[in-house]
């Protein structure tokens, strides 16, 4: 079963624009992680935010976490064609395995 | 490179065949995970090893699925009597140890059962 649910399912933007993806989840968590997956490849870990953190930055990535709403957002600023990929949120609770959402497919058009 | 590798990258099997998928984790990584990713979906957890011990196999969909890591490094996921619904990408990930939170994924094995 998949806990996280990303929205939108698909997003198409022009190069240079910002892309925002949202993730909602159901149970309390220790941390939430975002991964990127290029077509036909494995997942690449982007950023982790702990349950006691509200915002985190890494390069052009900004992640927010609202535990009261059980939601997170991933913002990619000044997008590039190379950012075209699927983005997944994954939640970690206690000793349970990572639970991934269904992903957002981002297309950045040059 | 020093990343997680998986083989084969692609596997076509006839329904009823047995398949074996291999994962070479990052050297020295204690934790190893297997996931199944159906088309258009996120990865779903199958099983977890810490060294050679299989600590969690709650995600294995049936007793046709079996995983092992006998020497605590390379792991094999075996699927017996494959069925069409087993068609998916099988991802392996490793993690330095249980105190670290980041998992490093291999490229996956794409299995197609005809």
* Partners of A45 in beta bridges: A35
**How far B105 CA sits from the closest chain A CA (Å)?**
6
- Residue B70: the pLDDT is 96
User: Which of A43, A44, A48 lies closest to B101 in CB terms?
Assistant: A48
Hunting for tokens 């076509």 — which residue is that?
Answer: B12
Q: Which residue of A has its CA nearest to B39?
A: A102
Alpha-carbon span B82 to B2, nearest angstrom: 31
Q: Do B41 and A102 touch (CB under 8 A)?
A: yes
**Whether residue A69 has pLDDT greater than 90:** yes
Q: Do B91 and A42 touch (CB under 8 A)?
A: yes
**How far B37 CA sits from the closest chain A CA (Å)?**
10
Alpha-carbon span B92 to B72, nearest angstrom: 14
Q: Which residue has the higher pLDDT, B98 or A53?
A: A53
**How far A5 CA sits from the closest chain B CA (Å)?**
10
Residue-level pLDDT, tens digit, chain B, 114 residues: 589 999 999 999 999 999 999 999 999 999 999 999 999 899 999 999 999 999 999 999 999 999 999 999 999 999 999 999 999 999 999 999 888 788 999 999 999 999
Alpha-carbon span B79 to B57, nearest angstrom: 14
Q: What is the pLDDT confidence band of residue A39, given thresholds at 50, 70 and 90?
A: confident
Closest CA to A9 of A106, A104, A86: A104
Structure tokens at B91: 């991802």
- Residue B97: the pLDDT is 83
- Residue A21: the pLDDT is 96
Note the Cα B9 to chain centre separation in Å: 12
**Whether residue A1 has pLDDT greater than 60:** no
Q: Is the CB of residue B67 less than 8 Å from the CB of residue B57?
A: yes
Q: Do B42 and A42 touch (CB under 8 A)?
A: no
Alpha-carbon span A47 to A72, nearest angstrom: 12
Q: What is the pLDDT confidence band of residue A95, given thresholds at 50, 70 and 90?
A: confident
């Amino acid at each position: 079963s998949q806990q996280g649910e990303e929205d939108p399912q698909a997003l198409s933007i022009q190069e240079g624009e910002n892309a925002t993806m949202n993730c909602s989840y159901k149970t309390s968590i220790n941390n939430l992680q975002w991964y990127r997956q290029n077509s036909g490849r494995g997942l690449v870990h982007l950023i982790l935010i702990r349950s006691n953190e509200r915002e985190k930055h890494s390069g052009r990535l900004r992640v927010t976490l609202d535990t009261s709403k059980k939601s997170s957002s991933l913002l990619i600023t000044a997008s590039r064609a190379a950012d075209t990929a699927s983005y997944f949120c994954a939640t970690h609770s206690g000793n349970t395995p990572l639970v991934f959402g269904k992903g957002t497919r981002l297309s950045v058009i040059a | 490179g020093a990343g997680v590798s998986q083989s084969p990258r692609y596997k076509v099997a006839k329904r009823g065949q047995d398949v074996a998928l291999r994962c070479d984790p990052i050297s020295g990584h204690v934790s190893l995970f297997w996931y199944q990713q159906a088309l258009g979906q996120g990865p779903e957890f199958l099983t977890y090893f810490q060294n050679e011990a299989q600590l969690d196999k709650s995600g294995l969909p049936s007793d046709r699925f079996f995983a092992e890591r006998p020497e605590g490094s390379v792991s094999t996921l075996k699927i017996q009597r494959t069925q069409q619904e087993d068609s998916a990408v099988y991802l392996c990930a490793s993690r330095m140890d249980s105190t670290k939170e980041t998992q490093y994924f291999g490229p996956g094995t794409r299995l197609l059962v005809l």
